[in-house]
Structure 1
């Protein structure tokens, strides 16, 4: 992880060095000539022209020979210019010093030290006004204040031309290095890895500054290219040393990383920019995205699913990718020899891919923002209190939000896919029409599936059931646990889970909506005082409703409705009560216990089955039984 971050930072800075260290740009006339030679009408006219013009076109079309000649010329120029680097650098420094002194200004080095002192003084004043300067935000704010102070002093004076550009580049390089150092101090790196990375960043920034000062200071372009080449070798050596010195990765991985760095550097040297950028992004983006996301996550301390945190983390990664895409687009546009400019079809596909990346980034950001909002709403609903007035609203949200999240995911994916295809040059009109025809055919062939989906939509519109409610439909019953687009998941009270398609539900009996009337019966003996039993039931209902635990569950208290019927063994008394859904069984058990205790304490007996046998002919029955036993004994003796 640590060396991967170092490699990512390495290639990001190397990317900037490469961009500034390219050979001197061609004159505008040459670019215009190349574009004219690539025009179809001009090419058609030249093909009909005499032989020398046709030969010129063939030479212009020989891409491999042109690339080989340009590469050879660039390498020869760099090799020949290396001995002249010290002389050119000293001459540029002398010109800058003479320009400053001739205008009555201090030398550039002294002026730079003075500006740096002003910036450090402003930063120290800011630090004194703050109690602590430990966080990344505090350090970056201090660096920003220092940069603003230096910029204010810089723009307050009228500097000569050469010192002006040198001071500007130096101040920018100093501020960039300090900001990178602050970011690296917050990364999860060892002390040695952090030190190596800072050294690498410093060398890269110095190389960028030197390459950017080549043209303003009138340095020979070949010498500027040689300076950039030398810095690239230094950066490559630092990167290889950092990978080799890391013992966290296996030997094969370290060798592969070193070879990858060398190959990418070689691609830049020979001018294969397309392959070079592919290698750079393959090595850089994963680590850069991880580093940007972690840095953004450490910056804000809030809930993992908060909108602000998701926006910052995902947005920082999107910015990194967008910068990479913009950089590739700029490189393709300013390079007239790029393959993108050689064929309109290739250019359309290439720029379409870049636009598609931006579309996918926006779709990903929009989806994660919506998902975090939905998840947060679900968690808030789950943690809400037991207010009955809000129970219905919470249940409906917990039912509809997951379905809305799934539908939103499908919509975002479909819209992003269509836009990507459109950017790649695919006509999406016929695709949409074909999808409609295919949908009709699929509807006829999958009537059951369509029936399930449509039935589910109408169940949701009718608010027939919600998550957490106990329902019964045909032979299925249980607590609603969740939904999909075509089915509902029911948890039976004994544990089994039923996944029932919406089309199979039919009429739904919801046992958890609003209120429940629970009725039960009790059998008492025929000599029971009915009025006394009614008063006892009323008293028990008042006691249950006054209970702190059971009282809030009642809507109407327990009452005895009267005599339901005359049974075989006693009188059947009917009782009823109205409670909140789902608690009627628990309250009924409590009511049974209290009714038993109250009836026994007041002499009311419960009816029990009994058989009465008449007592007038007991002797006859005994004689008959004795005769039967005698007859059985005779039968046994005869058989024996």
Structure 2
């Protein structure tokens, strides 16, 4: 029986390879003799089963069903089947009806095995950790067991290639691959020469505006796509125009696909980083990322090297099953190839230049720390690959790679669309447009990563709708809905935030650079928008959380009702807080004050700096900062609205000509008002209103001036200096308080007599003589 089984396995192996050869070869006697000779050689050797990867499951199922039919024949004689029977079998297997029937039988046969319930004892005795360690051990043991079998598998692959490529040899296969790669390069060079005007048009696009830089970046990528398409047509397209043997076709297409991938990496990386060999002026300003020339050359070189090695390994392993390599053998071969890939990646990380960024940004970690962290990450990723932790490996890629790509996209968008001082005036991109592009790319990256993760884990719409694993399907649907809601909320919030920040920026510019032309509407926006921004953010967060809870099956009606009851209870318990919030709302609705205005309320006064839902912050002119709840603010005196009138007095002597003084004051006031330092803020110059009072020392004159609020504080000081000099020149005396003492002899005698009487009175009281 053992001999029969070995013979059947060998014959099935021969039949599988015969199908490969018979798919494209002719019915000539020479071809049949080659297939028959190969079958006989395989039966004698008793080698392992080899089949095409795309027909493996179908052929194995057919063989299992035919064992019962061919076992009696093998019990009588162990002779190889004739070539005619082999052709009949191949024709039978090629029938679509037979293929459908075999597929149904295989799926029915697989259902009991898949539906077999797990043993409760085993499930309870093994924890998740022990199960994971057991899987790692089994994976490593598979690799260790496959290593001694590699020489045999290489010998088998050599036998197959020698039989298939007997006329060409391995050098001939290499020559075919190289020929079509050269053909793709030649066609790309031809397209490059024919599109010189297109290149010149891209080069002439302006680089002194954000939109011009974005157009140049898009033009470079479109041109790179054109060259890639030319390479594809010249290499793989030209190859597919001819008829080739199946194995040769698979091998050449694999390496041509790898060459196309390397060519695409080269083209897109070059259009993004613009290395120095491209000899483009202002390359640093035109790159998609703010990196130096040394960094651009470094990453272009090493990314190309890594892409070449990855493409060669991927192409070789893609057709390895066609040459008889088993899955375990391919796992064993992946160990040295992935190790070399790790070494190349670490070299790229360790040899990267320092301080490569053109735009300084805050870093919590230095160059060396980042290098060691990247080294640790790639080593852990390599160990996951060797241990067969595919789930953890893909999750690690998503957890680290997606944020890194989002970070690169964020820097690229803000660098290309930056507001450079060297740009043309008025060419800055609106903040909302930048936010839309940035968040759009972020959403696309996250959605693409989720799709690739679902494909990597074998998840799909049909699997999520199946009833085999309801708990898993519920979790997957909940995660998908939550991801969609979070992405939509983030996208909407980013747009709202960009609009608010843009309006706030306009208001700040209006109030800072051109304060004499303050737009009251902009100042009101500057006051209200921060509060609106916080309220909108809170609303979006609450709505997103409620929608996520609803999507995972939680009833949010009781939550909303409970929140209402709790809100009423909190309102009764925190009446002061509610009073502050409501008072603040009415203050804002009444437009009582705005950010930047000087107000006073009771014992508090200062410039309004910011708001919250509950309080306002006032900055005193001496530096003190008051935080006042709206409920305690009371009546507000706003000293920064529309205009302000300043009234003050000066005193002149009683012998002064009032009319001459009035004219002189008016003249000096006009001179001060025309001073460039005060002219933008003066509404009415300093002038005399009239005589205010007759004082103890002179005539009090009343003066006033009208100016814009909060401006021209030094104008009155300048006026005092100027009017003193003008009065001095005109002979007008400004009286000052003084004491006049009059002296004569009679007064001296009276004072002496008074002093003598006082002295005698004191002496009499003390018992003296008073002399």
TM-score interval, normalised by the smaller of the two chains: 0.7 to 0.9
Q: d(CA) in 1 for partners of 2:324 and 2:767?
A: 137
Does residue 586 (structure 1) correspond to residue 714 (structure 2)? The answer is: yes
Residue 395 of structure 2: which of 270, 273, 278 is its match?
278
Residues 85 and 223 in structure 1, CA contact (< 8 A), matched pair in contact too: no
Larger radius of gyration: 2
Does residue 260 (structure 1) correspond to residue 380 (structure 2)? The answer is: yes
Does residue 234 (structure 1) correspond to residue 337 (structure 2)? The answer is: yes
Count of matched residue positions in the alignment of Structure 1 and Structure 2: 590
Residue 452 of structure 2: which of 306, 324, 327 is its match?
327
Greater RCO (Cα-Cα under 8 Å, separation 6 or more): 1
Does residue 166 (structure 1) correspond to residue 291 (structure 2)? The answer is: no
Measure how far apart 1:457 and its partner are: 2.0
Residue 560 of structure 2: which of 406, 415, 432 is its match?
432
The corresponding residue for 1:516 is 644
The corresponding residue for 1:115 is 184
1:383–1:389: structure 2 CA closer, same or farther, 3 Å change rule? closer
Residues 480 and 488 in structure 1, CA contact (< 8 A), matched pair in contact too: yes
The aligned runs of 1:363-382 (5 Å cut-off) are 363-382=489-508
The aligned runs of 1:297-336 (5 Å cut-off) are 297-302=414-419, 306-334=431-459
1:212–1:580: structure 2 CA closer, same or farther, 3 Å change rule? same
Q: d(CA) in 2 for partners of 1:25 and 1:586?
A: 93
Does residue 546 (structure 1) correspond to residue 690 (structure 2)? The answer is: no
Q: Provide the secondary structure at the position in 2 that maps to 1:572.
A: strand
Does residue 198 (structure 1) correspond to residue 285 (structure 2)? The answer is: no
Does residue 602 (structure 1) correspond to residue 730 (structure 2)? The answer is: yes
Give TM-score scaled by structure 1 length: 0.75
1:250–1:108: structure 2 CA closer, same or farther, 3 Å change rule? closer
Residues 228 and 267 in structure 2, CA contact (< 8 A), matched pair in contact too: no
Q: d(CA) in 2 for partners of 1:531 and 1:255?
A: 90
The corresponding residue for 1:47 is none
Q: d(CA) in 1 for partners of 2:682 and 2:700?
A: 24
Does residue 350 (structure 1) correspond to residue 419 (structure 2)? The answer is: no
Residues 258 and 311 in structure 2, CA contact (< 8 A), matched pair in contact too: no
Q: d(CA) in 2 for partners of 1:446 and 1:35?
A: 64
Measure how far apart 1:71 and its partner are: 6.6
Measure how far apart 1:337 and its partner are: 10
The corresponding residue for 2:542 is 414
The corresponding residue for 2:569 is 441
The corresponding residue for 2:230 is 149
Unaligned runs of 5+ in 2: 1-52, 59-102, 169-174, 208-215, 276-288, 352-367, 421-428
Measure how far apart 1:209 and its partner are: 3.9
The aligned runs of 1:530-541 (5 Å cut-off) are 530-541=658-669
Residues 211 and 224 in structure 1, CA contact (< 8 A), matched pair in contact too: no
Task: Note the alpha carbon deviations across 1:122-155, whole angstroms, 9 max, x for none.
Answer: 2354468646989976764443121222455666
Measure how far apart 1:316 and its partner are: 4.0
The corresponding residue for 2:280 is none
Q: d(CA) in 1 for partners of 2:509 and 2:166?
A: 71
1:554–1:261: structure 2 CA closer, same or farther, 3 Å change rule? closer
Residues 521 and 574 in structure 1, CA contact (< 8 A), matched pair in contact too: yes
Greater Cα shift, 288-297 or 218-227: 218-227
The corresponding residue for 2:322 is 219
Measure how far apart 1:420 and its partner are: 3.2
Measure how far apart 1:262 and its partner are: 4.2
Q: d(CA) in 2 for partners of 1:503 and 1:620?
A: 71
Greater Cα shift, 64-73 or 399-408: 64-73
Q: d(CA) in 2 for partners of 1:539 and 1:123?
A: 78
Q: d(CA) in 2 for partners of 1:95 and 1:351?
A: 50
The corresponding residue for 1:14 is none
1:221–1:306: structure 2 CA closer, same or farther, 3 Å change rule? farther
Give TM-score scaled by structure 2 length: 0.63
Measure how far apart 1:539 and its partner are: 2.9
Q: d(CA) in 1 for partners of 2:691 and 2:558?
A: 75
Q: d(CA) in 2 for partners of 1:98 and 1:311?
A: 60
Q: d(CA) in 1 for partners of 2:345 and 2:218?
A: 28
Residues 97 and 107 in structure 1, CA contact (< 8 A), matched pair in contact too: no
Measure how far apart 1:625 and its partner are: 3.2
Task: Note the alpha carbon deviations across 1:314-366, whole angstroms, 9 max, x for none.
Answer: 5444433332211222234459999x986322332234224433433443344
Task: Note the alpha carbon deviations across 1:420-475, whole angstroms, 9 max, x for none.
Answer: 33344333333232222222222222222222222222222222112211111111
1:635–1:235: structure 2 CA closer, same or farther, 3 Å change rule? farther
1:24–1:561: structure 2 CA closer, same or farther, 3 Å change rule? farther
Residues 681 and 708 in structure 2, CA contact (< 8 A), matched pair in contact too: yes
The corresponding residue for 2:39 is none
1:93–1:464: structure 2 CA closer, same or farther, 3 Å change rule? farther
Greater Cα shift, 237-246 or 537-546: 237-246
Q: d(CA) in 1 for partners of 2:561 and 2:55?
A: 51
1:119–1:206: structure 2 CA closer, same or farther, 3 Å change rule? same
Greater Cα shift, 465-474 or 242-251: 242-251
1:287–1:232: structure 2 CA closer, same or farther, 3 Å change rule? farther
The corresponding residue for 2:153 is 84
Q: d(CA) in 1 for partners of 2:394 and 2:495?
A: 31
Residues 409 and 438 in structure 2, CA contact (< 8 A), matched pair in contact too: yes
Measure how far apart 1:563 and its partner are: 2.5
Measure how far apart 1:516 and its partner are: 0.7
Measure how far apart 1:90 and its partner are: 8.1
Q: Provide the secondary structure at the position in 2 that maps to 1:383.
A: helix
Q: d(CA) in 2 for partners of 1:557 and 1:403?
A: 39
Task: Note the alpha carbon deviations across 1:261-316, whole angstroms, 9 max, x for none.
Answer: 34311342xxx543333344345445444444445555555469944554555544
Residues 157 and 324 in structure 2, CA contact (< 8 A), matched pair in contact too: no
1:318–1:506: structure 2 CA closer, same or farther, 3 Å change rule? same
Task: Note the alpha carbon deviations across 1:487-509, whole angstroms, 9 max, x for none.
Answer: 11111111111111122211111
Unaligned runs of 5+ in 1: 1-20, 44-55, 100-105
Q: d(CA) in 1 for partners of 2:54 and 2:331?
A: 8
